[in-house]
Structure 1
Amino acid sequence: MTTELIEIDSYVLGQMLDKKNLSRQDFADKLGISTKTIQRWINGTVRRVRPDTLGRIAHTLEITPDQLCKSSVPIEMRPINRALEEICKDSFLCRIRVTDEYSSYLKLLKSFSPNELCSAQRMTLYTHIGFTSFYLGKNRASRMYLDEALKIAYSLNMPTKIISILSWSALREDFCGNRHEALSLVERCEDYLKYTNDCSKSRAEYLFRKGHVLYHGEQFAEAIPLIRDSILIEYKQPQQNLFALGMKYFHLSECYLRTRDFAKAKAALSKTARIAEKAGWVRGHAYSYFGLGIIGIFEKSDCQSVRASFAKARMLRSYTTSEKINTKAEQREFIYFAIKGQTNEARNLILNNIRFNRRFIHFFASSILDGLFFAKLFPESFSMRPSLIERATDYFEKNNLQRSLNALKLLNSKERISMAEFLELYVF
């Protein structure tokens, strides 16, 4: 059985009402429906209607239906595929995320034929392929699948799923350097929170994603309370998602690190380490010790404890697979090698990071800034191409990242910097 719903172009509908000088109340009366329904059509909360409803709207506005028609998605009613349902559960996904088995998971997901699934499961399949592709650095595929999933979620009018898909899309756009688009997608999430029955989980996802985007935008004062609130909601869930909890603590530590509140950063990283160990999230456990080692350097702790933190971090990371997205570990190791004067190791890390992060401009620009720090600290050993510095400058200016931009301009104006200046000026 197939029921076709047709998407209304909300912008055109609003424009036509204005052109016809029709209030929403008058338009609702003519159609014999509520003004709330009209409001939902115009603000995009409900985007799809039956063909006969579209015909009535077009007739009332004295236009043809195709002038209002944006697109259509067929809604398929089929039996539930139990195998797909099982591998898309949160518990199964947590195992994938803590072990980084994204490549195997993507192959498993693609073994299912979308045409044999009901619309709700097709949406779930596309969503999981979308964010898995993102973690594997396949941005174009990620965008395509998440966009298709979002179309179905709108058709099915499932606010919880819409929030989740918009949240993943925002993360992708944020990493790709489209910060304004990322914020726009996050704000769209907020519009749907009031339509969810049990919004605590969706609200936690929304708060964390908004905090994450703001953190990348150097708006730490706004980001920190959002991430903290998301953590509090996570603690109140009947079944705690330890991976999500550990990841949120890690990003909270990053905010504190950027503001150089080392005491709070250390506390958050210690929490991350304990939770990651309990969850079996080896990469998160490694990240915690890389962070604790760096804090030890900036707090001028004894060399033995710093070495011990880095040794444990490297040991843990040796049991993980290579990442397809920027890894914080390399940045932390770069700082460690630079401070110890291990120029060959630091240079290799910088060059690898710049090559590795070209797909994600946010991390690409940060890697260039790291390279500039190194070039000014050891000008006889390394130099940065002006074209790369220009690309980083353009990105920082476009996204109003003043801390990074100011550091880049200051470094560019100097012939070299001392180790004390490196520690003072460094942008995490």
Structure 2
Amino acid sequence: MTPLYVFIDAYRFRTAMESRNLSAQSLALALAVAPKTVQRWLNGRVRRIRIESADQIAAILKMEKKDFLREGPPISISCRNESVDILLSDRCVQVFSVADKMDLYVKLLRSFSLNMLPSEQRADVLLQKGVVALRFMRSRSATTSLNEAQSIYRAIKNYSGQVDCLNTWTQVDNLLGHFEEAMKKSVEAENLISVFDLADKKPELLHHRALLFVQGNRFSEAVELLKEALKLEFRKEAVDWISQARRYKDLAEVFRLLKDYGSALKYSLRSQKLSERCGYFRGKINAHFQLSLIYFFKKNYTESFQHLRSAQAAEKYVSEKDLDVFNLRVLFFWHLKMKDFGAARENVFKRITFSRSVRAVQALAKLDYLLLSKISKGLVPYRSSFESALLQTWDVDSRQRQAAEKVLQMGWGLDFEDVLEEMDL
């Protein structure tokens, strides 16, 4: 027999529990489910439950089901819909992410026909497609998916989904250099979180806003936001350890840009340990690259090279589609240091290929190619190579050159200048 499902109204459900002075843990114990499951009902991450569970909750709360459910009759959900829910679950995404199999995850997402899904589930799939497209730096695909998902979420008044869309959109706009639009979406998401009491969304919001402040050279504010995001996440009943590892990594990067290498080292090591503890393979690789870069600026080239070797050894097991272009740029400067100009040239071409949809990143790779040409031919100083390459016209339009200059001003390249001069390049 096909099970029947009803939909929880997160706000009314939370209000009902508070009026009965009942905690998520107590309800989970009474229902024989994990506390994390009840927490997801409360914050709106999971909205659909079996009608039998709703009956149990009503009996425990001693109230009618209509007092905490959305209006509408129970619906029948097919097995295919259940498969979609499993694929969209946090645990499933985490498994594919940790195993660096996101290319396979994309194929599975595409295997479902959206027209056969209920509106809410269709929006969830579109949102996930946007998240994955952002991971692969496909900004146009991400924008298209997020537009469709947001339209559906608004139509069905799913505020939790709207916040998730806006948070992801903030990252896309940040990647494209549209900082004012990104901040508007961040503020809109914050208003929804405040009005509908979606407190579990706050850490992610603060994290993405911190990255916006980094792009605007507002490093002190970025540090405060990242620290607050870490605190709020630790207060949750179900801590997202992978997100915490990423926050430690980004906090370390902000301190590196501030040239506070001691603090950068502290938080980067925390990111590495946390990634290892929760089996986050990509996070472990990123931490090695970051530690290599921090030791690089501390002029401890032995430690830097050891971490770089560890990162490169691990990268062999990672799909090329999932390579981090910033990490590849760290490798580029190491090739320059070793005067391995052939490897440096391959590195640049790989970055140009991987970042076709992001104008600023691709322009920066082309700028590096000009630097490489000048350095490898005459071994002229980095400073003069940088200035002449920046002024030189290459086969991109003026907007792309401006995007490259903006990225460089945000700390992606200028802070390498003194180190490379010491290398006598």
Task: Give your verdict on TM over 0.5.
Answer: yes
Would you say the 8 A contact 1:326–1:363 is kept in 2?
Answer: no
CA contact (8 A) 1:357 1:364 kept: yes
1:407 CA displacement? 4.7
CA deviation profile, 1:119-177 (whole Å, cap 9, x unmatched) = 22111111112222332344333222211110111112222211111111121222233
CA distance in 1: counterparts of 2:312 and 2:241, whole angstroms: 23
In structure 2, the partner of 1:165 is 165
1:150 aligns with 2:150: yes
C-alpha displacement at 1:396, in angstroms? 5.6
Alignment-mate amino acid for residue 309 of structure 2 = A
Amino acid at match of 1:354: I
Distance 1:294 1:207 in 2: 25
Q: 1:137 to 1:291 in 2, by over 3 A?
A: closer
Residue 307 of structure 1 is matched in structure 2 by 305
* Of 320, 333, 336, the match for 1:335: 333
CA contact (8 A) 2:363 2:403 kept: yes
Once structures 1 and 2 are overlaid, which stretch shifts more, 217-226 or 147-156? 217-226
Counterpart of 1:219 in structure 2 is 218
1:69 matched to which residue of 2? Answer: none
Q: In the TM superposition, what whole-angstrom CA distance separates every residue of 1:198-255 from its partner, at most 9, and x where no partner exists?
A: x332111111111122223333222221122111112122122121111111111221
Provide the secondary structure at the position in 1 that maps to 2:295: helix
State the distance in 2 between where 1:166 and 1:76 align. 30
**1:386 equivalent among 382, 388, 393:** 393
Give per-residue Cα distances to partners, 1:33-60, cap 9 Å, x unaligned: xxxxxxxxxxxxxxxxxxxxxxxxxxxx
2:126 is matched with which residue? 126
Could you tell me whether the CA contact under 8 Å between 2:215 and 2:410 is conserved in 1? Answer: no
C-alpha separation in 2, matches of 1:420 and 1:137: 29
Query: What is the CA RMSD across the aligned residues, in angstroms?
Result: 3.3
**One-letter code aligned to 1:341:** K
Instruction: Provide closer, same or farther for how the CA distance between residues 368 and 221 of structure 1 changes in structure 2, counting only shifts above 3 A.
Output: farther
Unpaired segments ≥5 residues, structure 2: 1-71
Which of 379, 403, 418 is 1:395 aligned to?
Answer: 403
Q: Counterparts of 1:285 and 1:405 in 2: how far apart (Å)?
A: 21
1:395 partner letter: A
| Cα separation, 2, equivalents of 1:406 and 1:267 | 23
Q: Which residue of 2 aligns with 1:276?
A: 275
2:260 maps to 261
Stretch of structure 1 that moved more, 142-151 or 334-343: 334-343
Match of 1:79 in 2: 76
Q: How far did 1:116 drift?
A: 2.5
Give, in whole Å, the separation in 2 of the partners of 1:419 and 1:127.
42
Partner of 2:286: 287
Which structure has the highest helix share of the two? Answer: 2
* Residues 126 and 204 of structure 1, relative CA distance in 2, 3 Å threshold: same
Q: Give the structure-1-normalised TM-score.
A: 0.71
Q: Note closer, same or farther for the CA distance 1:237–1:419 as it changes in structure 2 (3 Å cut).
A: closer
The answer to whether the Cα contact below 8 Å between 2:356 and 2:362 also exists between their aligned partners in 1 is yes
Instruction: Give the structure-2-normalised TM-score.
Output: 0.71
> How many Å apart are 1:86 and its aligned residue?
1.8
More deviation, 276-285/266-275: 276-285
Fraction of identical pairs, as percent? 20
The answer as to whether partners of 1:218 and 1:401 remain within 8 angstroms in 2 is: no
Inter-partner Cα distance in structure 2 for 1:108 and 1:153: 23
Which shifted more, 166-175 or 321-330? Answer: 321-330
Matched with 1:52 is none
> Which string of whole-angstrom CA distances, capped at 9 and with x for unpartnered residues, describes residues 327-363 of structure 1?
3221111222222332222232223323432311232
In structure 1, list runs of 5 or more residues that go unmatched: 1-74, 412-416
Deviation readout 1:88-118 (Å, 9 max, x if unpaired): 1112111122223222212222222222222
